[in-house]
Structure 1
Amino acid sequence: MAALLPVLAAASCAHKAPTTPQAAAAPGAGAGPGVAPPPVVAPLPGVAGPLGQVGQWKLLFNDEFDGTGLDPRSWVTCYWWDRNGCTNLGNRELQWYRPANVSVSGGVLRLDARREGTKGEGGWYAYTSGIVTTGRTGTDLSRTPGFAFTYGFVEMRALVPAGRGLLPAFWMLPSSHASLPEIDVMEILGQEPHRLQVHLHYRDDTGRIRRPGKAIETADLSAGWHVYGLDWQPGRLVWYLDGVERWRYEQAAHVPHEPMYLLVNLAVGGNWPGPPDGTTRFPAALLVDYVRVWQRCG
């Protein structure tokens, strides 16, 4: 694993007023101060900023997955409210997320979806899979926030699986542990690997959930590695694929302006993708080369 340094030491524009990540206080009375640990960043010689971007940038957070296991200072393998296993009951997904389905080797994070039955919250699940998030740290389920930030450029280089019922995703949620707003940097339906799905989810003034977004036509994204990026700035969201802008959202009142954390997962089934069928091959894997968060200097 590359040497890990405090983020400000690695920033190329540290002489300017630093923009540090913000973490929400832990929810609930008596939960304690909930102080987040410093984010972790590995030096990137020769990499000056996000793919396709110009100007000065500082690296706020990254994981190149160069070690022999997942870095517990940066990630956990469940949603913030669970420890040894979890799922998203609200989406009626068919998988149970387990730490055993998450591995790191050869410079790659691997999230494996398997057709294997297991018991979890709410009953029996026909599939297992993997998730990593920065929503909390360690084994404390609520008191220690993980890495979160407000505004910046997030990018992930990944190889996605194809197959009906699979849903690889890279997304963001509030560090307050609320369910909205949500920013989907990347979602791909396994049966539609030629479409990149990007969305913002928010609640309007009437309480109704809105989901502006776009299904972007592409080449088969499961055929090779691609870089998925999002430039999140005050009043603006711009999505990128391989360094090229593909869609933007500029309804400023609805763009999130609070600290958010990162999630990467491989879901199976659910309301949107539907269940796998006989053509879906298991095990299926989402492979991730790196995850990076940058902020502009100045």
Structure 2
Amino acid sequence: MGMRFFGAAFLGLACTFWIASASVPAQASPPADGQWERVFSEEFNGSKLDRRKWTRCYWWDKNGCTNLANKELQWYRPENVSVGGGHLRLTARPQKVIGHEGRTFNYTSGMVTTGRHYEERAGRDRFATKYGYFEIRAKVPRGKGLWPAIWLLPSTQEPRPEIDILEVLGHATNTYEMHLHYIKGGWQSAGKSAKTADLAAGWHVYGLEWRKDAVIWYLDGKELWRYTKAEGISQEPMYLLINLAVGGNWPGSPNAKTKFPAEFLIDYVRVWRRTGP
């Protein structure tokens, strides 16, 4: 999400490789090479969002929010976030609303974060961690102009560094986008695009291990990419964001074939921290 956050240019490396189709586990687990403790868990088994764990906007929440730098078309609203049937639902729909500085938006959508909003800026995030294994079981939507993402931002509320656990473009749901973004003599990015089975066709487990010396992406328990350049690996606490954007510089606008309402479904979010080698 962040390679376009605040208008940064995408400088990532585009590499493509094929992943064989495989049965999808109900859940994965942290890598076997170590000892772990669970530090965050959300199963979405209730009937409403647990506000002790989640906010529903970026930290600059002003009765809604968006990312203007990306030229996104949605205005995020609390009513587009719901919990039921064991899932979190982030729903995008055509709906004309007035948002930032009187600007008109033609779509609404939903997002959640474990951070803090503007009025809480002097406090702590609801959940943040330095390093760990993040695992999210999710079902992404299909359709031109849809842009689901799961990502990490620093607790300082700065736009960098950033780690994108998952990005998918609704018109290319057979491609898993993995990126990170950092500052070194200017804004820098690195990334890979992995060809996969159709991610919108069912549930998948998206995993990421963030270590002092590596960031490693997993799909359904299988490693896809390992980044090891020290300059790009965050060394500060970060919080989690999950959102369904509509439109923007990268995915483009929805077209007549894009089906609404569109839903980004999350089954669970789990985070572990290493306690031993």
Query: Taking structure 2 as the reference length, what is the TM-score of the superposition?
Result: 0.86
The match for 1:288 is 266
Matched residue SS, 2:231: helix
Does the Cα contact within 8 Å between 1:81 and 1:141 map onto a contact in 2?
no
Deviates more, 1:167-176 or 1:140-149: 140-149
Q: Distance in 2 between matches of 1:287 and 1:127?
A: 18
- Please name the residue that 1:262 is paired with: 240
For 1:121 and 1:245, the matched residues in 2 are separated by: 40
Which residue among 226, 239, 254 is the counterpart of 2:217? Answer: 239
Aligned to 2:108: 128
SS of aligned partner of 1:96:
strand
Check the 8 A contact 1:65/1:105 in 2, yes or no: yes
Which residue of structure 2 aligns with residue 19 of structure 1? none
Deviations 1:87-131 (A, max 9, x none): 011111000000000000111000000011111004000000000
- Rounded to whole Å, the distance in 1 between the matches of 2:201 and 2:247 is 22
The unaligned stretches of length 5 or more in structure 1 are: 1-46
Partner of 1:90: 69
Quote the residue 1:38 is aligned against.
none
The whole-number CA distance in structure 2 between the counterparts of 1:212 and 1:185 is: 13
The Cα shift of 1:83 comes to 4.7
Tell me, what secondary structure is at the counterpart of 1:110?
A: strand
Cα RMSD for the two superposed structures: 1.7
Residues 26-77 of structure 1, C-alpha deviation per residue, up to 9 Å, x if partnerless? xxxxxxxxxxxxxxxxxxxxx9982564542110111000111100110010
Aligned partner of 2:195 in structure 1 is 217
CA-to-partner distance for each residue in 1:234-278, whole Å, 9 max, x for gaps? 020000000000001000122000000000000000011010111
1:256 aligned counterpart, secondary structure = coil
Structure 1 residue matching 2:94: 3-state secondary structure: coil
Give the aligned partner of residue 134 of structure 2. 154
Alpha-carbon distance in structure 1 between the residues aligned to 2:137 and 2:228: 25
Name whichever of 150-159 and 79-88 sits farther off: 79-88
Q: 1:143 Cα deviation (Å)?
A: 2.3
Quick one: distance in 2 between partners of 1:285 and 1:251? Answer: 35
Of residues 79, 84, 91, the one that matches 1:112 is 91
- Report percent identity of matched pairs: 55
CA distance in 1 between counterparts of 2:32 and 2:149 reads 23
Indicate whether 1:58 and 2:37 are aligned: yes
Cα distance, 1:145 vs. partner? 2.1
Letter in 1 for 2:111: I
Which string of whole-angstrom CA distances, capped at 9 and with x for unpartnered residues, describes residues 199-253 of structure 1? Answer: 011111x22x211100100000000000001000002000000000000100012
Match of 1:265, SS? Answer: strand
Contact 2:28 2:205 in 1 (8 A): no
1:132 partner amino acid: V
- Runs of 4+ aligned residues of structure 1 deviating over 4 Å after TM superposition are none
TM-score, normalization by structure 1: 0.81
Alignment partners' CA distance in 1, 2:32 and 2:174: 24
Cα contact 1:188–1:197 (8 A) shared by 2: yes
Query: What code does the residue aligned with 2:242 have?
Result: V
Alignment coverage as a number of residue pairs: 249
Provide the rounded CA distance (Å) in 1 between the counterparts of 2:213 and 2:34.
20
Q: Tell me how far apart the structure 1 counterparts of residues 212 and 84 of structure 2 sit (CA, whole Å).
A: 37
Separation of aligned partners in 2, 1:110 and 1:293: 20
For residues 58 and 50 of structure 1, the distance between their equivalents in structure 2, rounded to whole angstroms, comes to 11
Q: What is aligned with 2:6?
A: none
SS of 1:85's equivalent? coil
Q: Partner residue of 1:72?
A: 51
**Unaligned regions of 5+ residues in structure 2, if any?**
1-25
Kindly name which structure, 1 or 2, has the bigger radius of gyration based on alpha carbons.
1
For residue 214 of structure 2, what is the amino acid of its counterpart? R
Amino acid at match of 1:127: Y
Checking the alignment, whether the CA contact within 8 Å between 1:66 and 1:106 is kept in structure 2 is yes
